[in-house]
Structure 1
Amino acid sequence: MKTFDYIVVGAGSAGCVLADRLSRDGLHTVLVLEAGGSDNSFWIRTPIGYGRTFFDPRVNWMYNTEPDPQTNGRTSYWPRGKVLGGSSSINALVYCRGLPGDFDDWEAAGAGGWGWNAVRPHYEAIERRVLADGTVEGSGPLFVSDVSRDTHACNRHYFAMARELGLPVTEDCNGPSPEGITRYRITTRRGRRWSAADAFLRPALARPNVTLVANCLVERIVMAGRQATGVTVRTGQGRETFHAAREIIVSAGAVNSPKLLQASGIGPGALLQQFGIPVVMANDHVGGNLQDHLGISYYYKASEPTLNSVLSPWWGKAMQGARYLLTRRGPLSLSVNQCGGFVRSDAHLSRPDQQIYLNPMTYTTTPSAKRPLIRVDSFPGFILSFQPARPTSRGWITLAAPDPDVAPKIVPNYLSTEKDLADVIAGGRLIQRMARTAAMRAFTKAAMAPDILALDDAGILEDFRRRCGSVFHPVSTCRMARDAGEGVLDSRLRVFGVTGLRVADASAFPNVTSGNTNAPTIMLAHRAADLILADAAGAETERMSG
């Protein structure tokens, strides 16, 4: 069968949710198309295994940005999932809804119906929260685990530091008081990664009305005038065209969704003409409004044992490996990001402006799929990190060539506003205040270069330009907005100017949320499915009454 009611492009965090939700009633046929292959891998299943998939082209698009002038001409490496589950199969597992004000900002930006009170029920519907004592709250398909019983004992110093500075401490950044230092919740179930493929796609594939085609490349959306009617796909058997009786939903991610729209004639008119692509709908915002979080880490030698002491020696690795295989517990069952949260760099601010990470380990990284990403230092150490939560710089993504095999051109345009520069300095000053507390001084044996306490504001900024890196949260390249003069999608995720086509993934965010973007991407897809089904029911009612 080559015709389906719905075609979902991408089996990542959003696409898996759509496959489940659109097929649940059994009334509609759903085709899911995925460029990657199986997620049946030990390194995907093992939480700390994302160090192995970080540079693995078998499951990772491994994108690189253009050189960025504001970060000393450096390129940024952007891992993106190319596998069932998408980036939820290779990410660092932190589950963070974002702050309520983030979504009220979405609504103010033109995404009507996406305020906090509207999206909160969708979070509650998808989550199954496993508390530290094993108690389960909620009945959603996505397991979100409190793993504090396995986090390192030295983390207590971070909470002592927060109290000394007067920073709030919160039980859960996804709870009723999201601001403050906390132990991060992660997407695991019984010590194993629980991706969007586990939570949503596998239940969907058990239904006869869902078809998955993996290891395929969607080359373009087939248009009849301004009506999306199907997709042209390259598989191992050649080129095929699949038709959509109802709608096509693009969920290929913040990099590949705008790329596919542009390849299909929806995007900046001059760019499309340059590559000889017939213009279906000229819209300069397709691929524009790119936003991402930048972060930086400061390294310290510790005065007492940290996770380094457990994972650096060969015998420690062997013991923890055996422990994990036997019990699914210990450091291999965790993210390297154990603690952190949302804080205000200045108490007078109206809301948190920084997300911080407090990790009980220091390490170096190696850019190779053949060796572990993380090489733990031989001495006890810890990390203090920050990322400005609400960057105002905007970049763009465009086709680099009409050939669908060619990676797009990614221009992040980092640190291009005075506000972003000021936020970097504010974050650096916050880390300085943390490092000066009695709690952290007692935990610190020595600062590793560069010592942030030796830097003035100019030094903080110059060091940030030299060492900062993406936190891998690209969003907003097909953003929701009031009209095509401001964005790509309406508040029901329909592409302006065409019919039968929506985009539902992180590219649809009007603005980046304050923290990690996987949870809001899953939430967005959950609400998107409701909108799609409601519109289909409305159209059917209108047809019957007519």
Structure 2
Amino acid sequence: MRTFDFIIVGSGSAGSVVAERLSASGRYSVLVLEAGGSDRKFFVQMPLGYGKTFYDKSVNWMYRAEPDAGLGGNADYWPRGKVLGGSSSINAMVYVRGAKEDYDEWRDRGNPGWGYADVLPVFKTLEDHDGPAKSLGRGGPLHVTDCSKLFHPLANQILKAAQEAGLTYNPDFNGKTQEGTGPFQLTTKGGRRMSAARAFLRPAMKRANVTVLTGAMVQRLTFEGKRVTGVEFTRNGRSETVKAGREVILCGGSVNSPQLLELSGIGEAARLQELGIPVVHGNAHVGEHLQDHLGINYTYRANVASLNQVLRPWWGKMLVGIEYLLLCTGPLSISMNQGGGFFRTDPSQSRPNMQLYFQAFSTVRPKVGERPILTPDPWPGFSIGLSNCRPTSTGSIHIRSSDPLAAPRIMPNAFSTNHDVAEMLDAVKFLRKIAATPTLSKLIVEELLPGPDCQSDEALIDDFRRRSGTVYHPVSTCRMGPDPAQSVVDPRLRVHGVDGLRVVDCSIFPNIISGNTNAAAMMIGAKGASLILEDHA
């Protein structure tokens, strides 16, 4: 049985950072176990390639949530990265830290060291920004690109219309305020995706004290009493056990970290006993408190050119493909979400509660079996999307059986509170306000989705229930908190009730943040690694 000082389960946004930080001194041996394969694939490295990886089972877990009454009975699709870099290798690359108030709320819930003043320096050590914004760090491993010079002309028109609708221009959502509208900052460099694997794990893999095993499906944790001693996993059809001399660190994200805890006997006792899993430590909060941002697009046919005319026809794909192969520039080198912003549905609110996304392309509802993200419309079109920043609805993620290969049961409970329904109703009405501005109204031929017949509050609610879905930011299923009776990990990310085990990923969020979660996941990886190193100094 091989022994490593630290075993990291999962090489995603947090796990890649943890591996780099723990191995940097050379004092500790580090093993990273990744169920997926290599990130050295063309459509992983090409930024717009996530239109392909969105449905590629070789790099994607391709989960499906349970039918949800809040989504009109739909079973939402949940892509999650199954590859080196995890979801940072298949995401839309938008880099948003979150609002100051989000982290201050974490601190005020009994988690010292997690306020904004504490985490901001951690963010800055990660970042290497190439633009004029002064808020982001420079010289870190993670390159962040200012995409304002790469804007499609139609995206610029949407940006102008949002300002006509009352939003201010904001060139930096990671600056003094999130509120306003402007270009997004993206995790790209030189026209290639800057995933956590590229920024952190690949450099760490050059060190002699780092071992990375791909295709390693972790089955369960091993214990001596209530101390975690290692993990069991399968690889290439063989079962193996490795021992952790110091700690095992779960970085599987909000789906796979609670899944592995439950498979290993940490969770609600009655649930585990029903599935025939011996209980190591009973904790009913494992897999609970799931929060996620829900999004919807309003889609329009335009009378000016959009990316549809480039990305749909074979000759257009050929031209942009040649440009990308030769120069690493053009539409394939950036995200579909080139810009957006944050706004308040109620001016009396203290801060924004909704996020905008501008897309200079369109895709109407697909036919059965058709993959919508791969098939732009044959006419010029665009979409304006939004998602809620701080939903109050909560769901759960739990195992269905003792089989590690069985996908867990994901129950989002979307729009299960009146608060979430009311603010989404106000938000979609604001989308139409943007579309009605002088700038956009003259470019719009017709509203395709939901369409002009959708007018009453009841019709709008029915529409966003049926068409909304995850924007891939699940959090809080291994919630952090000081009270073992209310949380899964303590403020140092140690799992309550057992020794030698931590969770370091987005599942530890005490509550969801405002905006995309990839930046926060990497920050958690860096801060978590610092806590681990302090405890083993």
TM-score by length of 1: 0.95
**Residue 32 (structure 2) pairs with residue 32 (structure 1):** yes
Q: Measure the CA separation in 1 of the matches of 2:238 and 2:176.
A: 52
My pick for the range that moved more, 357-366 or 7-16, is 357-366
Q: Measure the CA separation in 1 of the matches of 2:235 and 2:369.
A: 25
Q: Kindly report which structure 2 residues correspond to 1:167-246, keeping only aligned pairs within 5 A, or say none.
A: 167-236=167-236, 238-246=238-246
Tell whether the 8 Å contact from 1:301 to 1:379 is kept in structure 2 after alignment: yes
SS of aligned partner of 2:386: strand
Tell whether the 8 Å contact from 2:295 to 2:385 is kept in structure 1 after alignment: yes
Q: Which runs of 5+ in 1 are unaligned?
A: 538-546
Q: Measure the CA separation in 2 of the matches of 1:82 and 1:370.
A: 23
Q: Which runs of 5+ in 2 are unaligned?
A: none
**Residue 380 of structure 2: aligned partner:** 380
Q: Measure the CA separation in 1 of the matches of 2:16 and 2:159.
A: 37
Q: Kindly report which structure 2 residues correspond to 1:443-458, keeping only aligned pairs within 5 A, or say none.
A: 443-451=443-451, 454-458=454-458
Matched to 1:422, the amino acid is A
Deviation at 1:386, TM superposition (A): 1.2
RMSD over aligned Cα, in angstroms?
A: 1.9
**Residue 86 of structure 2: aligned partner:** 86
Tell whether the 8 Å contact from 1:288 to 1:395 is kept in structure 2 after alignment: yes
Question: Displaced runs of 4+ in structure 1, greater than 3 A?
Answer: 364-373
CA displacement, residues 19-41 of structure 1 (integer Å, 9 cap, x when unaligned): 10000001111111010111111
Q: Measure the CA separation in 2 of the matches of 1:480 and 1:269.
A: 20
CA displacement, residues 481-518 of structure 1 (integer Å, 9 cap, x when unaligned): 12122110111100011111000011111111111111
Q: Measure the CA separation in 1 of the matches of 2:511 and 2:449.
A: 34
Tell whether the 8 Å contact from 2:363 to 2:372 is kept in structure 1 after alignment: no
Identity, in percent, stands at 48
Tell whether the 8 Å contact from 1:132 to 1:148 is kept in structure 2 after alignment: no
SS of aligned partner of 2:218: strand
Q: Measure the CA separation in 2 of the matches of 1:484 and 1:199.
A: 35
Deviation at 1:132, TM superposition (A): 7.6
Deviation at 1:230, TM superposition (A): 0.7
Q: Kindly report which structure 2 residues correspond to 1:302-341, keeping only aligned pairs within 5 A, or say none.
A: 302-341=302-341
CA displacement, residues 198-234 of structure 1 (integer Å, 9 cap, x when unaligned): 1000111111111111101111111111111111111
Change (3 A) 1:289 1:86: same
Deviation at 1:184, TM superposition (A): 0.9
Deviation at 1:54, TM superposition (A): 0.8
**Residue 262 of structure 1: aligned partner:** 262
Matched to 2:264, the amino acid is S
Q: Kindly report which structure 2 residues correspond to 1:113-512, keeping only aligned pairs within 5 A, or say none.
A: 113-131=113-131, 138-236=138-236, 238-364=238-364, 373-451=373-451, 454-512=454-512
Q: Measure the CA separation in 2 of the matches of 1:174 and 1:29.
A: 35
Tell whether the 8 Å contact from 1:132 to 1:145 is kept in structure 2 after alignment: no
**Residue 43 (structure 2) pairs with residue 43 (structure 1):** yes
Tell whether the 8 Å contact from 2:104 to 2:114 is kept in structure 1 after alignment: yes
Deviation at 1:159, TM superposition (A): 2.7
SS of aligned partner of 2:66: coil
Matched to 2:493, the amino acid is L
CA displacement, residues 99-138 of structure 1 (integer Å, 9 cap, x when unaligned): 11111121223322111111111111101112289xx960
Tell whether the 8 Å contact from 1:148 to 1:183 is kept in structure 2 after alignment: yes
Q: Measure the CA separation in 2 of the matches of 1:112 and 1:123.
A: 17
SS of aligned partner of 1:363: coil
Deviation at 1:440, TM superposition (A): 1.9
Deviation at 1:522, TM superposition (A): 0.5
Q: Measure the CA separation in 2 of the matches of 1:211 and 1:369.
A: 40
Q: Measure the CA separation in 1 of the matches of 2:494 and 2:255.
A: 18
Matched to 1:59, the amino acid is V
Deviation at 1:474, TM superposition (A): 0.8
Q: Measure the CA separation in 2 of the matches of 1:349 and 1:443.
A: 32
Tell whether the 8 Å contact from 2:312 to 2:378 is kept in structure 1 after alignment: yes
SS of aligned partner of 1:289: coil
Q: Measure the CA separation in 2 of the matches of 1:257 and 1:226.
A: 18
My pick for the range that moved more, 118-127 or 315-324, is 315-324
Deviation at 1:436, TM superposition (A): 2.0
Tell whether the 8 Å contact from 2:294 to 2:387 is kept in structure 1 after alignment: yes
Q: Measure the CA separation in 2 of the matches of 1:153 and 1:242.
A: 54
Deviation at 1:177, TM superposition (A): 3.0
CA displacement, residues 401-429 of structure 1 (integer Å, 9 cap, x when unaligned): 10111111111111111111111112112
Matched to 1:260, the amino acid is L
Q: Measure the CA separation in 2 of the matches of 1:453 and 1:198.
A: 47
Change (3 A) 1:248 1:365: farther
SS of aligned partner of 1:424: helix
Tell whether the 8 Å contact from 1:132 to 1:149 is kept in structure 2 after alignment: no
SS of aligned partner of 1:67: strand
Q: Measure the CA separation in 2 of the matches of 1:247 and 1:505.
A: 16
Matched to 1:174, the amino acid is N
Tell whether the 8 Å contact from 2:363 to 2:373 is kept in structure 1 after alignment: no
Deviation at 1:366, TM superposition (A): 6.6
Tell whether the 8 Å contact from 1:227 to 1:498 is kept in structure 2 after alignment: yes
SS of aligned partner of 1:404: coil
Q: Measure the CA separation in 2 of the matches of 1:166 and 1:448.
A: 24
SS of aligned partner of 2:521: helix
Tell whether the 8 Å contact from 2:288 to 2:478 is kept in structure 1 after alignment: yes
Q: Measure the CA separation in 2 of the matches of 1:487 and 1:39.
A: 34
Tell whether the 8 Å contact from 2:89 to 2:195 is kept in structure 1 after alignment: yes
Q: Measure the CA separation in 1 of the matches of 2:326 and 2:371.
A: 24
Q: Measure the CA separation in 1 of the matches of 2:163 and 2:453.
A: 20
Deviation at 1:346, TM superposition (A): 2.2
**Residue 540 of structure 1: aligned partner:** none
